[in-house]
Amino acid sequence: MTSPTPDPDLSHIGPREKAEILAQALPYIRKFHGKTMVIKYGGNAMTDPALQQDFAEDVVLLKLVGMNPVVVHGGGPQIEAALGRLGKKGEFIQGMRVTDAETMEVVEWVLAGEVQQDIVGLINQAGGKAVGLTGRDGGLIRAQKLKMVDNKDPSVEHDVGQVGDIVSIDPSVVKALQDDAFIPVISPIGFGEHNESYNINADVVASKLAEVLKAEKLMLLTNTPGVLDKAGNLLTDLTARRIDELFADGTISGGMLPKIAGALDAAKAGVNAVHIIDGRVPHAMLLEILTDQAYGTMIRAR
């Protein structure tokens, strides 16, 4: 494998400046050594080849300096493309994909096959040791059918098919892999009491996993700079009360709903910091973890 071409944007930085940058990262490396970082990987970071490589290198670096990254991935665009090839069009209710039996089959082979294996390959190529899992492996994610109540009328319940609500997470298999220096890459598919498969929102899986693993940080990569107010300004620091206000006035809606709700649950359950960061920024994760500069929205319980 040929060595990667140096980033031209760094070519003007001399050895002394590079050493200073590394020295500034040292307190963060020390602070987070041995800590678990749950990363929800999605958006442009998953589809742009340069950003894919950046992401893989970031994950490997975090592992090499002693942190424990756990990757949970989405795959909405890839699922949409596969459904399109079959002549099916995706349908969403309140940010959740309606998943009939045929769609569930597509979701499983796209997420657990194509997408997961691409991510595992990228991380391994970057020098890491990644292992792909679904919620079935090691009994990781038990699920039941999601009961979706209408946002505006609580008496109405939407049937979204084989979309799952997490019943429990058994992190044993994830911890075993971490102890053996592997990087788990998890597809958000759960199993029910009758061995049926469930499609679960990847943000929800990442948030719940961060709670169960007592993660230091939960990072959700998105296609936006973070949470924006109605004027389009970035909100860098959000509390539970402020989030309730943003839900109520419609500022947070659509696909952001499960993302923010899960992030808030994780913060309330003891995850020290939840970050919604812009996956379109090269090396966004390293910037968030190893510098004191805010690169998105941080959510805290109070």
76 marked as binding residue? yes
Quote the pTM value: 0.88
Q: Which residues of 141-174 are buried (b: 16+ CB within 10 A; e: fewer)?
A: bbbeebebeeeeeeeeebebbbbbebeebebebb
Instruction: Spell out the domains of the chain, with CATH numbers in brackets.
Output: 33-299 (3.40.1160.10)
The answer to whether 75 is a known ligand-binding residue is yes
Q: What are 31-80's pLDDT values in tens digits?
A: 999 999 999 998 778 888 999 999 999 999 999 999 999 999 999 889 99
Average pLDDT over residues 269-298: 85
Q: What is the mean pLDDT of residues 250-274?
A: 81
What is the pLDDT at residue 59?
96
Residue 166: how many CA atoms within 13 Å on its side-chain side?
A: 23
Per-residue pLDDT of 75-103, as tens digits, reads 988 999 999 999 988 788 877 788 999 99
Instruction: Output the pLDDT for position 175.
Output: 94
User: Regarding predicted confidence, which is higher, 48 or 255?
Assistant: 48
* pLDDT in the model for residue 3: 37
90 touches 70 (CB < 8 A): no
